[in-house]
Amino acid sequence: MWVNMRPCPAMIVFEGSMAVAKRILVINGHPDTRPERFCSALTDAYVDSSVKAGHEVRRIDVGALSFPLLVKFEDFQLPTEIPDIRKAQDDIGWAEHLVFIHPLWLGAAPAMLKGFVERAACGGFAFDSGTAGNPKRGLVGKSARVIVTMGMPALAYRIVFGGFGVRAFARGILRLSGVRPVRTTYFGGIELSERHRDKCVARVRRLATSGV
């Protein structure tokens, strides 16, 4: 599912300072798109607050798309013919700032989100895998934020488990494609209480207003 919202203001005022409105693509990476999922609530909050702040916003719900998993390396080298993925590439190319929101599953992003990113990277869109040495990066000039929800305390994931799955997503996919900076926000213990989840939503709204 896609949502494309175009606000009127070109400039945003934050407590007396001016900021340029951004083109933001918000990607809900939870395979389950039901509204009661917490990732859906965070995605709704980010989209709503960024639009109200004057940013231009598009949205992708990965769980609502149709695409097969990438199997052959030869397919990775060819431009995609999958309609949902071609539309996603258009949105990614349009955006200045990418926001990925996903749950932590088995220490990393859900397989469907990773499969979506692999498909979107096809045909040299994200990087040219056929270039010797450093690959040609296709997403230079874009920034990103990865927002991750989890049941365990976020500090435990970062220190005890090293945050390897999320770090691999940020470094091995986004930074490899030229996206910089890539910032990460962890929301741990999301099943603790409704009050805690409300605080997480409020933080996402502040990030969205600032366009970061």
State the CATH number of the domain containing residue 95: 3.40.50.360
Range of the domain at 44: 2-210
Average pLDDT, the chain: 90
**What is residue 19's predicted lDDT score, i.e. its pLDDT?**
58
Distance CA 116, CA 27 (A): 11
pLDDT value of position 3: 56
Output the pTM of the full model.
0.89
pLDDT of residue 13: 45
Ranges under pLDDT 70 in the chain = 1-19, 129-134
Query: What pLDDT is recorded for position 35?
Result: 95
- The domain tally of the chain equals 1
pLDDT recorded at residue 10: 47
Q: What pLDDT is recorded for position 142?
A: 97
